[in-house]
Chains A and B, each alone.
Chain A
Amino acid sequence: MEGKMSKFIMPNLQKEAIENLLNKEGKRLDGRNADEYRELFVEDGISKNSASAIRVRFGKTEVLAGVHLALATPYPDSPDQGTFMTSAEMHPMASQQFDIGRPGINAIELARVIDRGIRESGFIDMKKLCIKEGEKVYQVFVDIVAINDDGNLLDVAGLAAIIALGKARMPIYNEKEDKIDGYSETERIPLEKDVLSYSMTLHKVGDKIVADVSKEEEEISKFRLTIAMGDNAGKPRITAMQKGKAGTINTEDMETILKLAESKWTEMFPKVKEHVFG
């Protein structure tokens, strides 16, 4: 579809208001501190037709995510392993800035960052998703659909992806007819629980490093850094990073970011784990 993307119009005075309040008081327009997350809400059972489907919200930013398993042929270089794919739709339903049609660069980047995080960490035990070596394996699909964008879709979508995987049920394989007969009520897909990692995106807004950005903050931030961290004997360990936007990160910012990421991870990770495996 040809179609001009509606610009998000940010008045100068609004940018100044956001930056001044952060710089002087360390506060944000909605009253939050710079490092404060909005309330997390998770709802299971959105679709009974797939392995799992859930709703995740940070404040008013909302996504749905679902997992499907299908029968597939393994890749020649990994004949004994299942395969995996992530798709993300920044549906125009979620924001007037999103267009109908092919996924834009933001949706592609989002899907790729999430895909890499899950793939590289080995979160899904692909070997256990092999049905017959060289011939038949399960293909795992994670599909993310944005419902309402009020900032920080990246983190909400990432969280939705791992929770959806955590809740995903194992398919029932009908060998005779070579098809899937629905999903098991009790058995979940094989996951390496120890390598679960949780990603947080921090933005530089004004002079401050800010977590869980609002739509307006996201618009005026100089750069963002997404950090995924897993658990290494109770301590956070970095598993993936992605820097976005044109601004550059100086030494001081990097120190702030790492400190903030470590403390937020320590605070959030137990809750995240509870949602994924609970």
Chain B
Amino acid sequence: MVKEKRNIVTPGETIVSGNEFLPGDGAYRDGEDIVAGQYGIAIVAEKHVRVVPVSGAYYPKRGNSIIGTIVDITFNGWLIDFGGAQNAFLPVSEVPMYVNKNEMREFLDFGESVIVKVWDVKSRGVDLSMKMRGFGKIEGGMIISVGPNKVPRIIGKEGSMVKLIKGATGCDVTVGQNGKVWISGKDANMEVATKKIVEFIADNAVTMGLTGMVEKFIKDMGLKVAATEAKE
């Protein structure tokens, strides 16, 4: 069993001491000490120490699924805003069908939204792909921004939180690792209810016992919690 110890650390703070520990993301070694190199939750898993941010902007990583919007179209692809430092580029060769370069707007037009995969992160920008299953244009529903650091709590363990919400409101909740959440259902009022639940989770993301709180929040809204059990 992996033993986890969670606590919020600040830059320069010693997390653990001992040569047996190894610094991971957000941590560094200073003599015997493993020190926080950023603000966040320190996670000591066995001998591996890392710091997971709890706030701040989104930094794209290879393999992330993100939700974005078309802001420009070039001769060979689409520029996509995902709320990060740079724009991202989706080349015409990385969409799942052949698109004629004269008909790019028919495939993806200005202001349309997509769920895409981060293919590569370079100093000049981010390259995207839409070729795999589960990626593509998204239509209907609404997008809300909760910030990248709340994403794990909104998804829940093995998607349990998303299932809990779907059970209560009937809406699909698709979470981009860039902190944008696409909510889509048949009933607009239920979409609004879903938005409230997602925002509640984001507001209480560092709280222990979140599932119980969310279930209560759903019941207080007059909705039913389906029998599926959510895990934290």
Closest Cβ of chain A to B113, distance in Å, is 4
Give CA–CA (A7, B143) in the complex, Å. 17
- Taking CB atoms and an 8 Å cut-off, the chain A residues in 23-49 that contact chain B are 24-25, 27, 29-31
Indicate if B178 sits at the interface (CB-CB under 8 A). no
Q: Across the A-B interface, how many residue pairs have beta carbons closer than 8 Å?
A: 48
Contact B142 A13 (CB under 8 A): yes
Give CA–CA (A249, B222) in the complex, Å. 40
Closest Cβ of chain A to B186, distance in Å, is 13
Given A10-B111, A11-B69, A11-B111, decide whether A21 and B143 contact each other with a Cβ distance below 8 A. no
Indicate if A172 sits at the interface (CB-CB under 8 A). no
Indicate if A20 sits at the interface (CB-CB under 8 A). yes
Indicate if A12 sits at the interface (CB-CB under 8 A). yes
Given A9-B69, A9-B71, A14-B142, decide whether A21 and B111 contact each other with a Cβ distance below 8 A. no
Contact A31 B188 (CB under 8 A): no
Give A12's nearest chain B residue, CB to CB: B111
Give CA–CA (A31, B71) in the complex, Å. 29
Give A10's nearest chain B residue, CB to CB: B111
- Taking CB atoms and an 8 Å cut-off, the chain B residues in 98-122 that contact chain A are 111-113
Contact B111 A29 (CB under 8 A): no
Contact residues of B: prevailing secondary structure = mixed
Give CA–CA (A11, B143) in the complex, Å. 8
Contact B71 A14 (CB under 8 A): no
Give the interface size class of chain A: 10 to 19
Contact B112 A20 (CB under 8 A): no
Closest Cβ of chain B to A70, distance in Å, is 41
Give CA–CA (A131, B81) in the complex, Å. 58
Indicate if A17 sits at the interface (CB-CB under 8 A). yes
10 contacts between A and B (CB under 8 A): A7-B71, A10-B69, A11-B69, A11-B143, A12-B112, A13-B113, A13-B140, A13-B143, A24-B188, A30-B195
Across the A-B interface, the 9 shortest Cβ-Cβ residue pairs? A12-B111, A17-B142, A11-B69, A11-B113, A9-B81, A21-B188, A9-B69, A14-B143, A11-B143
Interface residues of A (CB under 8 A from B): 7, 9-18, 20-21, 24-25, 27, 29-31
Interface residues of B (CB under 8 A from A): 69, 71, 81, 111-113, 138-143, 188-189, 191-192, 195-196
